[in-house]
Amino acid sequence: MVNISMQKNIKNEELLNRIRISYPKINFKPSQRFLFHPPNTVAYNLTDDNFPILILHELGHALIGINSFETDIERIKIEVSAWEKARELAQKFAVPFDDDFAENNLDSYRNWFHSKSICKKCGQTRYQTPDRQYHCPNCDPF
C-alpha cells in the first residue's frame, strides 16, 4: 500500500529528476527550506506541499542570474522576475502554476517593504539610497 504522501513524494521526485536533466549545471540539495544559494545551488524540501511551485521559483532565481540588489525595491523586482520565470518553467514542465500562491508570496515582500519604508515619526514614505539607508523627506535634513 502506497499512501497519499508517499505518492506525492514520488511525483515530486519525478519532477526533480526532470528538472535536473534539463539543468545539469545547477546543484540541487535537500534542505528544510527552499532557498537559492548563488551562484548555482537550489535547496529544496521534497515533502513540502508546495514543492513544484517553490522549486520552480528558486530555479527561476538561479536562471535569471541577478542576485545582488542595492535597494529593497530592486529586491522586490528580482522576486517578481523569479516568479515570472517560475510561470514559464511551470509550462515547460507541465506543472500547474498557482497565481494566487505567487501573488501572496509577493505580497508578503511588499508588506515587509511597506512597513520598512514608512517613517515612524510622521508616516511619510521614506526613500532608500544605495547605501541601504532610508531617509524621510520630512524629518531628515538633506
Sites of contact with Zn ion (CB under 5 A): 79, 82, 119, 121-122, 124, 136, 138-139
Residue 76 or 119 with smaller CB distance to Zn ion: 119
For residue 114, the SS3 value is helix
Residues 76-110, buried b or exposed e (16+ Cβ, 10 A)? Answer: bebbebbbebbbebbeeeebebeeeebeebeeeee
**67/84 Cα distance (integer angstroms):** 16
Residue 11 or 33 with smaller CB distance to Zn ion: 33
Residue 47 or 138 with smaller CB distance to Zn ion: 138
Q: How far is the CB of 121 from Zn ion (least distance, A)?
A: 4
First to last CA, the chain: 70
Query: Do β-strands 27-30 and 41-44 pair in parallel, antiparallel, or remain unpaired?
Result: parallel
CA atoms within 13 A on the CB side of 134: 16
Q: How far is the CB of 96 from Zn ion (least distance, A)?
A: 19
Q: How far is the CB of 78 from Zn ion (least distance, A)?
A: 7
Q: How far is the CB of 1 from Zn ion (least distance, A)?
A: 37
Residue 7 or 137 with smaller CB distance to Zn ion: 137
